[in-house]
């Protein structure tokens, strides 16, 4: 075993997410939304670091949660001033490879881990209330990867799940994920109700190719980032597809804002690796009315803030104050917008992508 | 397979007929300072892949230590840990650890300090180049760690030219020119040098696997002189290649048998230190370090392979901020030596 581990360790290769062609958005004449970037708004204790900051969320008190890939995956909580409060779930069995964190209306914290195939519901003070899915049993040993064809999807076993959301009644929706290609609906007690899609990749109506993020709006409609198909799919509360958005590039993630007038933020994130031309054709985030009207866009790729390095999740509880988590920069940024609609004149505080480190 | 790195190094250094280095070069007298670094109780160095000093004389050591592991009971095999970055004061007293439990630290490649005292870390396994500010906060990242490892392992197959972007294959070193442009030796999995602007935007890369001018076998180290010329130790081809700032081939020195670690001194009359690094499989040959002018003329040499003080076990790093006080990092002897040249 030791020899095997060393061998595998020494020969790590790039085998990550499936390589999909990144798509340039075809929507035209979308106004740029001026923003102010808040530098270094999260303050880490000495000696602590963020890794790939793939998941961010805020609660009703303005606390920020970051579920990130450090040497080990970790969940940090910061207060509204950005001061580090505590770590949740240190050493927890369900933590291996962060993918999403979301906070529900009762301030429960939900973590989605695509390494342990688990969705974990923590109480606001960080106690485990419920889990969905099961970690693959270690007693089966180390298994080969890549694996063969996907096994048939099961009700209560997930396969690299990506995100979680809830409707106003508390029903739970899970996007699942990198090996299954489905959206599952559970009741508030975690009992299976329905699914759309399957373990198979597809591009037809009701099929998915890497459902990568999920949000539920106030009407109980489910917004799914169907990343491999370069579309956002909107499902009704019974998981019946009712609409899709295909002109905003590659569907990396989605956020539906809080409050009575909700907006959708959809990210055509720049792909990992910063390949030729990608900085010119991707990286922007769109703001929409829930009816699909595009209001504006913002953001550009760049190594230095406020440039983006693969936005993986954003929090939009307040649509004028976004918290953005990125993969490659190990960074969380906060963008503040002056109005709820795109301004006509550029703010003097808005920086172009790549200007100035912070 | 278990010792892939070792095999690569051995193949690179001892395959084929030996070219005779300037073994008759004058011997430079030197001493090794005993106990140059004082580690806290319970802290150890592993293989020292990188050592560098900043403008205050503080010493940074990037070392392969702890336990690199793969988790089981997961959707994929995830790898963790295995390298640490330590800082010492100029007297060798331990100050702190930087980047503890960082996602980017797995198999140490190199550490270098830029003119603003930022700390640049190169990791061969996460295939990342990480820029930390002097306080140890992340400023910029190049490359990305593979999300998981393959089981069973697969050999990398490529012509070494890489892709025009910041995904690396076992990078080994980083350097900068006066304008702050960044040069990365993408040198073990690939065989190219990649150039980025100071903000990390990719500009170009050059080189692929081969023996012609401008091609490489294994690039162990790079250095940039005050004019912006780029020196690359093309270890397997037994030469140091020199390029202009845009990657055009200028010349090559073939008088060091297996050039690996390199360093260019500062000041009006700079020198290039180059190690003729012995492979971990052999301490009976080579191992000496050469001092040469930037035109390749050897001034002198010192040391040999071995396990005692003033001997070297697979030198992986040389710091020469002070031209006559060198820090040498060794893979084979799990140590840093501080050398006083006379």
In chain A, positions 270-289, which contact chain B (CB-CB < 8 Å)? 272-276, 279
Residue B80 has pLDDT above 80, yes or no: yes
Q: What is the pLDDT of residues B225-250, one digit of tens each?
A: 999 999 999 999 999 999 999 999 99
**Residue A259: inside a domain, yes or no?**
no
Q: What is the pLDDT of residues B51-79, one digit of tens each?
A: 999 999 999 999 999 989 999 999 999 99
Mean pLDDT of B310-327: 98
Indicate the residue of B75, B125, B151 with minimum beta-carbon distance to A115.
B75
Mean pLDDT of A42-67: 97
Return the pLDDT at A141.
86
**Residue A204: inside a domain, yes or no?**
yes
Inter-chain residue contact B164 with A117, CB threshold 8 Å? no
Indicate the residue of B71, B96, B164 with minimum beta-carbon distance to A96.
B71
Read off the tokens for B208.
């692929």
Q: Which residues on A lie below 8 Å from B146 (Cβ)?
A: 12-16
Q: Which residues on B lie below 8 Å from A357 (Cβ)?
A: 139-140
**Residue B23: inside a domain, yes or no?**
no
Percent of chain A with pLDDT over 70: 89
**Residue B95: inside a domain, yes or no?**
yes
Residue A20: which pLDDT band, with cuts at 50, 70 and 90? low
Distance, in angstroms, between A176 CA and closest chain B CA? Answer: 13
Mean pLDDT of A57-72: 97
Mean pLDDT of B160-171: 95
Residue A18 has pLDDT above 90, yes or no: no
**Residue A232: inside a domain, yes or no?**
yes
Residue B178: which pLDDT band, with cuts at 50, 70 and 90? very high
In chain A, positions 94-133, which contact chain B (CB-CB < 8 Å)? 96-97, 114-117
Read off the tokens for A182.
């489905």
A149 touches chain B (CB under 8 A): no
B74 touches chain A (CB under 8 A): yes
**Residue B66: inside a domain, yes or no?**
yes
Q: What is the pLDDT of residues B271-318, one digit of tens each?
A: 999 999 999 999 999 999 999 999 999 999 999 999 999 999 999 999
- Whether A286 and A296 have beta carbons less than 8 Å apart is answered as yes
Q: Which residues on A lie below 8 Å from B103 (Cβ)?
A: 49, 51-52, 69-71, 330
Residue B3 has pLDDT above 70, yes or no: no
Q: How many domains does chain A have?
A: 1
Among A284-298, B18-32, B303-317, the least confident range? B18-32
Return the pLDDT at A69.
97
Distance, in angstroms, between B276 CA and closest chain A CA? Answer: 25
Indicate the residue of A7, A114, A303 with minimum beta-carbon distance to B199.
A303
Residue B21: which pLDDT band, with cuts at 50, 70 and 90? low
Residue A269: which pLDDT band, with cuts at 50, 70 and 90? very high
Residue B19 has pLDDT above 50, yes or no: no
Q: How many C-beta atoms lie closer than 10 Å to residue A271's C-beta?
A: 22
Among A146-160, B145-159, B167-181, the least confident range? B145-159
**Residue B242: inside a domain, yes or no?**
yes
Nearest chain A residue to B145 by CA distance is A14
Return the pLDDT at A295.
98
**Residue B25: inside a domain, yes or no?**
no
**Residue B24: inside a domain, yes or no?**
no
Read off the tokens for A247.
């002109």
Residue A115 has pLDDT above 50, yes or no: yes
Helix (H, G, I), strand (E, B) or coil at B228: coil
Percent of chain A with pLDDT over 90: 84
Q: What is the pLDDT of residues A318-334, one digit of tens each?
A: 999 999 999 999 999 99
Closest CA to A263 of A244, A291, A289, A233: A289
Residue B157: which pLDDT band, with cuts at 50, 70 and 90? confident
**Residue B19: inside a domain, yes or no?**
no
Distance, in angstroms, between A105 CA and closest chain B CA? Answer: 30
Residue A136 has pLDDT above 60, yes or no: yes
Residue A256 has pLDDT above 60, yes or no: yes
Residue A21 has pLDDT above 90, yes or no: no
Q: What is the pLDDT of residues A65-106, one digit of tens each?
A: 999 999 999 999 999 999 999 999 999 999 999 999 999 999
CATH of the domain at B60: 2.120.10.30
Return the pLDDT at B17.
35
Return the pLDDT at A40.
87
| Beta-carbon pairs below 8 A across chains A and B | 175
**Residue B7 vs residues A165, A287, B15, B231, B287: alpha-carbon distances, Å:** 50, 54, 11, 25, 17
Probe site for chain B from A274, A306, A328, A330 (most B CB atoms < 10 A): A274
Mean pLDDT of A287-299: 98
The answer to whether the peptide bond before residue A146 is cis (omega within 30 degrees of 0) is yes
Contacts of B292 (CB under 8 A, 6+ apart): B253, B255, B256, B271, B272, B273, B274, B298, B299
Q: Which residues on A lie below 8 Å from B201 (Cβ)?
A: 279, 302-303, 354
CATH of the domain at A204: 2.120.10.30
Q: How many domains does chain B have?
A: 1
Q: Which residues on A lie below 8 Å from B76 (Cβ)?
A: 97, 115, 145, 160
A199 lies in which domain range? 157-251
Residue A350: which pLDDT band, with cuts at 50, 70 and 90? very low
Residue B145 has pLDDT above 60, yes or no: yes
Residue B322 has pLDDT above 90, yes or no: yes
Closest CA to B230 of B304, B276, B175: B175
**Residue A222: inside a domain, yes or no?**
yes
Distance, in angstroms, between A304 CA and closest chain B CA? Answer: 7
Distance CA B99, CA B102 (A): 5
B105 lies in which domain range? 4-13+30-150+159-341
**Residue A319: inside a domain, yes or no?**
no
């Amino acid at each position: 075993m030791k020899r095997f581990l060393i061998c595998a360790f020494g020969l790590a290769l790039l085998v990550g997410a499936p390589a999909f062609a990144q798509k340039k958005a075809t929507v035209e004449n979308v106004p740029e939304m001026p923003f102010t970037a808040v530098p270094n708004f999260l303050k880490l204790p000495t000696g602590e670091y963020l890794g790939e900051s793939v998941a961010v969320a805020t609660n009703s008190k303005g606390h920020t949660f970051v579920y990130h890939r450090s040497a080990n995956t970790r969940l940090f909580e910061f207060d509204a001033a950005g001061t580090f409060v505590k770590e949740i779930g240190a050493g927890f069995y369900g933590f291996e490879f962060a993918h999403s964190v979301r906070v529900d209306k009762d301030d429960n914290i939900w973590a989605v881990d695509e390494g342990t195939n688990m969705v974990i519901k923590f109480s606001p003070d960080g106690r485990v209330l419920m889990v969905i899915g099961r970690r693959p049993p270690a007693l089966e040993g180390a298994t080969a990867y890549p694996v063969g064809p996907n096994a048939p999807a099961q009700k209560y076993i997930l396969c690299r799940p990506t995100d979680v959301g809830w409707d106003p009644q508390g029903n739970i929706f899970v996007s699942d994920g990198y090996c299954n290609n489905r959206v599952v609906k559970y009741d508030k007690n975690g009992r299976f109700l329905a699914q759309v899609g399957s373990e198979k990749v597809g591009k037809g109506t009701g099929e998915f190719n890497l459902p990568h993020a999920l949000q539920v709006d106030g009407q109980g409609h489910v917004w799914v980032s169907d990343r491999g198909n370069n579309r956002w799919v909107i499902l009704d509360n019974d998981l019946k597809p009712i609409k899709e958005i295909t002109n905003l590039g590659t569907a990396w993630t989605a956020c539906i804002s809080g409050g009575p007038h909700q907006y959708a933020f959809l990210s055509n994130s720049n792909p990992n690796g910063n390949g030729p031309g990608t900085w010119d054709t991707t990286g922007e985030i769109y703001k929409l009315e829930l009816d699909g009207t595009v209001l504006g866009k913002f953001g550009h790729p760049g190594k230095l803030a406020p440039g983006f390095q693969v936005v993986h999740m954003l929090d939009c509880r307040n649509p004028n104050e976004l918290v953005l988590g990125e993969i490659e920069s190990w960074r969380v940024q906060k963008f503040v917008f002056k109005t709820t609609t795109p301004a006509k004149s550029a703010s003097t505080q808005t920086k172009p992508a790549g200007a100035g480190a912070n | 397979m278990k010792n892939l790195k070792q095999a690569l190094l051995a193949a690179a250094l001892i395959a084929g007929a030996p070219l005779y280095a300037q073994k008759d070069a004058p011997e430079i007298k030197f001493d090794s300072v005993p106990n140059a670094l004082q580690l806290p109780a319970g802290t150890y160095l592993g293989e020292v892949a990188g050592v560098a000093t900043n403008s205050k004389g503080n010493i940074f050591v990037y070392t392969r230590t702890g336990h690199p592991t793969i988790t089981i009971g997961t959707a994929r095999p995830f790898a963790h840990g295995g390298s640490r970055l330590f800082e010492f004061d100029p007297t060798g007293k331990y100050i702190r650890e930087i980047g503890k439990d960082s996602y980017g630290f797995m198999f140490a490649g190199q550490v270098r300090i830029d003119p603003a005292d930022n700390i640049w870390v190169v990791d061969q396994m996460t295939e990342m180049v990480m820029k930390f500010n002097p306080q140890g906060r992340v400023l910029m990242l190049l490359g990305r760690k593979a999300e998981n490892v393959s089981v069973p392992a697969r050999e990398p197959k490529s012509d070494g030219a890489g892709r025009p972007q910041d995904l690396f294959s076992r990078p080994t070193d980083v350097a900068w020119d006066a304008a702050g442009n960044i040069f990365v030796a993408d040198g073990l999995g690939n065989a190219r040098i990649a150039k980025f602007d100071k903000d990390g935007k990719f500009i170009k890369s050059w080189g692929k696997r081969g023996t012609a001018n401008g091609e490489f076998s294994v690039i162990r180290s790079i250095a940039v002189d005050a004019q912006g010329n780029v020196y690359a130790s093309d270890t397997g081809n037994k030469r140091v290649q020199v390029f202009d700032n845009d990657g055009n081939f200028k010349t090559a020195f073939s008088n060091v048998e297996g050039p690996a670690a390199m360093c260019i001194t500062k000041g009006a009359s700079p020198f290039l230190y180059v190690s003729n690094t012995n492979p971990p499989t052999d301490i009976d040959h080579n191992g000496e370090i050469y001092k040469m002018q930037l035109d390749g003329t050897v001034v002198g040499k010192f040391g040999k392979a071995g396990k005692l003080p003033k001997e070297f076990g697979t030198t992986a790093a040389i710091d020469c901020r002070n031209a006559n006080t060198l820090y040498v990092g060794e893979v084979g002897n799990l140590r840093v030596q501080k050398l006083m040249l006379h």
